[in-house]
Structure 1
Amino acid sequence: MELRPLRYFVAIAEAGSVTAAAAALHLTQPSMSRQVHQLERQLGIDLFVRDGGPFRLSAAGSEFLPLAQRLLAQAEATWETARAIAAGRLQRLTIAAPGTTLTDVVAPFLATLTGDDPMPAVWEEVPASVYATLGRGADLAIGTTLWPSTCVGIPLAELPVWAYVRPDDPWASRDSVGVADLVTRPLLVQTRDFHPRRALDQTLAATGVAYGPIHEFASAEVAQAVAASGRGVAVVSDDPRFDLRPLAIQGVRISLYAAWEPHHHGADTIQAIAERLRTFCATRYNLT
């Protein structure tokens, strides 16, 4: 089905007459009428009542009109998307990242976007496979390891891992804590599936410091909840909950990287947004 006869039908229905529609579209009335007759023959229905009285839609035409309007709107949206792609613009931006990164970094950043930016969407993905999402429809992936050679990217930030204590804890007034002091307290840590735990493990191994008592949790929020009950110090990278006080763990950092496909039609836009995200991280976490 051609779209031009549909446009003429909708124009006549909305204008109320062939004369008004033809004038609005700068066409002749006979040409427009022929196109509508052709559409009626193709559909097998009469779209207008032609009985010598006032020009009006038939019952079939009234039922068909919203379908034609939706089809034309979808066609226009399709063409607009194609024009945007050809111009290297992005109408949507899908960001893939681990859960904590989505909650504590990406979501606050999205709140800074404007109407001129692409409409964002997010995918939660485990760190080990986050870059693989670029081959499954994600436009920008944020990971905790360097991006693969098939991608291009930029470093985003070196983020702290926090030791969380209660407001009445002896450490509550401190800004940071070293690992030698940290391991003297019962630690509420995530399992080794999570990057904050792996970062702490690596620092302890490098400095020759051994763990004291630890309790493992699959959820950073649960670790903080248990810390709020006074059972130990939570070691996570999440933002604070339960009125806990954060202490930066000296020498323990999480690297964040942004990556995208080099031949993506919106690569310039993606890179610009990634660079804005890097600036956002520096401001949010007071990074220098």
Structure 2
Amino acid sequence: MEIRTLRYVIAVADEGSVTAAATAVHVTQPSLSRQIRQLEREIGVDLFVRDEGRLRLSAAGAEFLPVARSLVAQAEAAHGIAASIAAGRLQHITIAAPGTTLTDVVAPFLATLEPDDPMPAVLEEVPASVYTTLTRGADLAIGTTPPPVTFTGMALADLPVWAYVPRTHDWAHRGHISLEELVERRLLTQRQDFHPRRALDSAVASARLAYTELHEFGSPEVAQAVAASGRGVAVVSDDPRFDLHPLAIDTPSGPVGISLYTAWDGGHHGAATISRFATRLAAFCVARYGEQVAPPRRRAPRPAPAS
């Protein structure tokens, strides 16, 4: 059963005559009639009733017609997808990232997509294993450490870790707070397996300081909620919630922050599209958070090593 012959069946049903159908599908009338008869012999069903040289759908043909339309539509879709793959275009793109990055970076970026961009899907993954998703169906991964050299990658953004206080707090008129001042207060942070907490711990250790009081939470939203109640200073990388006021945390080596990187398979048929997608995401981060989040020396996409 050939898709071409199914198109002929559909054309006769739609046009109402063999002559009009032959013109519509650009074949001769004898050729069209012959191939429809061959199909009928193949499936053992008369799709048309021959009535004084005209064809009209039989009861079996009327039942078969929706199936023929579906098969032709699927074939056309398959050809379209194959053409897109051959041209390096993507119909869909799956982005893997940690939960906070998905919420605060990826989701707002997806709201800016254009109609001809790939249809996105997201996959939440912990930072330690986010790059392994590239071997499990993800097209683009976002992590907080440089990607393995087996993948193509680029630096995405250096995002700050914020100290959040209520609008009534005595720091609420400021835009920055020193690390020395911060550790003197009750801090509300995530656990040590989260990168904002690791960045804070590293800064405290480098400055040879110590926490006065610290409470851990599994969720950055909960840490902010407790801060909103006036019970401490939330230190997280999330966007502000509960009308909290953000403060950059200053250290002698610069603000406390975490770095984001993107990675993809350099051999992916849509590698060029993914690379452009990652570059647009980097530009979005700058537009959203300011020029200061651009890595000092953004790395150009590096090619995957030769196999």
Structure 2: distance between partners of 1:165 and 1:24: 71
Partner of residue 263, structure 2? 259
Partner of residue 110, structure 2? 110
Partner of residue 139, structure 2? 139
Calculate the TM-score normalised by the size of structure 1: 0.95
How far is the alpha carbon of 1:56 from its aligned partner?
Answer: 2.4
Partner of residue 100, structure 1? 100
Pair 1:222 & 2:222 matched: yes
| Matching of residues 22-61 of structure 1 within 5 Å | 22-52=22-52, 55-61=55-61
Structure 2: distance between partners of 1:229 and 1:48: 77
Structure 1: distance between partners of 2:275 and 2:55: 56
Deviations 1:155-181 (A, max 9, x none): 011000111111111111111212211
* 2:47–2:61 Cα contact (<8 Å) kept: yes
Deviations 1:21-74 (A, max 9, x none): 101112111111111122222222222223449742222222221221121111
Report the secondary structure of 2:291's partner residue: coil
Structure 1: gaps of 5 or more residues: none
Partner of residue 158, structure 2? 158
* 2:17–2:54 Cα contact (<8 Å) kept: no
Pair 1:268 & 2:264 matched: no
Amino acid at match of 2:93: L
* 2:18–2:54 Cα contact (<8 Å) kept: no
Calculate the TM-score normalised by the size of structure 2: 0.90
Report the secondary structure of 2:192's partner residue: coil
Report the secondary structure of 1:130's partner residue: helix
Structure 2: distance between partners of 1:237 and 1:270: 26
Partner of residue 89, structure 1? 89
How far is the alpha carbon of 1:100 from its aligned partner?
Answer: 0.8
Structure 1: distance between partners of 2:183 and 2:116: 48
Amino acid at match of 1:165: V
- Judge which range, 144-153 or 176-185, deviates more: 176-185
* 2:199–2:258 Cα contact (<8 Å) kept: yes
Structure 2: distance between partners of 1:65 and 1:32: 17
Deviations 1:247-286 (A, max 9, x none): 1222311100011111111111111111111111112111
| Matching of residues 179-198 of structure 1 within 5 Å | 179-198=179-198
Structure 1: distance between partners of 2:171 and 2:42: 80
Partner of residue 200, structure 1? 200
Structure 2: distance between partners of 1:235 and 1:81: 46
How far is the alpha carbon of 1:81 from its aligned partner?
Answer: 1.1
Report the secondary structure of 1:156's partner residue: strand
Report the secondary structure of 1:121's partner residue: strand
Structure 2: distance between partners of 1:57 and 1:38: 16
Report the secondary structure of 1:246's partner residue: strand
Report the secondary structure of 2:210's partner residue: coil
Partner of residue 9, structure 1? 9
- Judge which range, 148-157 or 171-180, deviates more: 171-180
How far is the alpha carbon of 1:145 from its aligned partner?
Answer: 0.5
